[in-house]
């Protein structure tokens, strides 16, 4: 899955996953991601944010990195550049 379009909205994420998995519609998408159809509808219509659970489901179904899924959904990265792999400081 490549990011060819600079739109970064939940609809773009959903449409890209549908295309990547060669699905026909949102009903097939809900089955592929194992979520109820209203979840897809609510995300598509902006009534439900793209949450971590949904991001993980997209990652599992497509094999696309979580970071890329977050970008497709228009979300900020979890880690800033250069932070990956660094151990966190203990809370003392």
Convert the pLDDT of each residue in 18-76 to its tens digit: 999 999 999 999 999 999 999 999 999 999 999 999 999 999 999 999 999 999 999 98
pLDDT at 8: 43
Q: Which domain holds residue 18?
A: 10-72
Q: How far from the centroid of its chain's Cα atoms is residue 39's Cα? A: 13
CATH assignment of the domain containing 37 = 1.10.260.40
Give the total number of structural domains in the chain. Answer: 1
User: Considering the domain boundaries, does residue 49 fall inside one?
Assistant: yes
pLDDT at 60: 98
User: Considering the domain boundaries, does residue 82 fall inside one?
Assistant: no
User: Considering the domain boundaries, does residue 59 fall inside one?
Assistant: yes
**What does pTM read for this prediction?**
0.77
User: Considering the domain boundaries, does residue 5 fall inside one?
Assistant: no
Query: Which DSSP string corresponds to 7-64?
Result: --SHHHHHHHHHHHTT-SSHHHHHHHHT--HHHHHHHHTTSS---HHHHHHHHHHH--
């Amino acid at each position: 899955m490549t990011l060819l379009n600079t739109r970064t909205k939940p609809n773009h994420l959903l449409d890209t996953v549908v295309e990547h998995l060669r699905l026909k519609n949102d009903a097939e998408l809900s089955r592929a991601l194992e979520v109820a159809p209203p979840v897809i509808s609510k995300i598509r219509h902006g009534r439900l944010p793209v949450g971590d659970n949904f991001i993980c489901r997209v990652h599992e179904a497509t094999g696309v990195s979580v970071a890329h899924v977050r970008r497709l959904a228009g979300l900020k990265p979890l880690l800033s550049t250069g932070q990956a792999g660094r151990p966190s400081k203990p809370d003392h």
